[in-house]
Amino acid sequence: MAYGIDAIVPVEVGLKSYRTEVYNVEVNNFGLRANIDLLEEERKATHKRNVKYLLQAPQHYDSGIKKRSFGVGDLVLWELAASMLTRQGKLQLNWEGPYKVIEVIRPRTYKLETEAGEAIRNTWHACRLRKFYY
């Protein structure tokens, strides 16, 4: 297709083929005008499909995410990779703790303290914490 018109190969110009024999200029022009008339409807339908896709994409993405939330008094482990700039080796522990949640700063952000009762200076996001079970 070249701008809505079927391209003709040079071989077809010299030889007779079905396409060159049944070609009618009026029918072709009528088809092109019909395509132009339907263009705006096609754009609207495409826009609707795009909006629907954009609304469904986050839902699909979020369906695989496990939401973590903790309450005051819960025991949690924190991810060592978040608190250390460089890893010491592949045999090092991945999680450290347990720590106690002492305050919920905002949803999914927590203030922690050690088992000895010393408050940790930084706040921690739920994606870097894991529930601790005895």
Question: What distance in Å separates the CA atoms of residue 56 and residue 49, rounded to the nearest whole number?
Answer: 11
Beta strands in 10-94 (DSSP E): 75-79
Is pLDDT above 70 for 9? Answer: no
Nearest one of 107, 98, 109 to 76, comparing CA atoms:
98
Whether residues 58 and 79 fall in one domain: no
**Domain assignment present for 99:** yes
Q: How many helices (H) and strands (E) does the chain have?
A: 4, 5
The answer to whether residues 89 and 48 belong to one domain is: no
89: in domain: yes
- 70 located within any domain: no
Q: Is the domain of 124 the same as that of 81?
A: yes
Of the candidates 106, 100, 103, the residue with the CA atom closest to the CA atom of residue 78: 100
Residue 33 inside a domain? The answer is yes
Q: Kindly report, residue by residue over 99-133, the tens digit of the pLDDT.
A: 999 999 998 999 999 999 999 988 999 989 999 99
CA distance linking residue 14 with residue 80, whole number of Å:
76
56 and 89 together in one domain: no
Handedness of CA 11, 17, 22, 28 (dihedral sign): negative
- The count of structural domains within the chain is 2
Share of the chain above pLDDT 90, in %: 39
| Domain contains 56 | yes
When pLDDT is cut at 50, 70 and 90, the band that residue 32 belongs to is: confident
For tokens 């699909």, what's the residue? 60
pLDDT tens column, 37-61:
888 899 999 999 999 999 999 988 8
* 57 and 79 together in one domain: no
Q: Which residue do the tokens 């079970």 mark?
A: 133
CATH number of residue 110's parent domain? 2.30.30.140
Domain that holds residue 46: 10-62
Q: Are residues 41 and 79 in the same domain?
A: no
- Per-residue confidence band for 85, with pLDDT thresholds at 50, 70 and 90: low
Torsion of CA 129, 108, 99, 120, to 10 degrees: 110
List beta partners, residue 77.
130
Query: Which residues face 27 on adjacent strands?
Result: none
4 is a domain residue? no
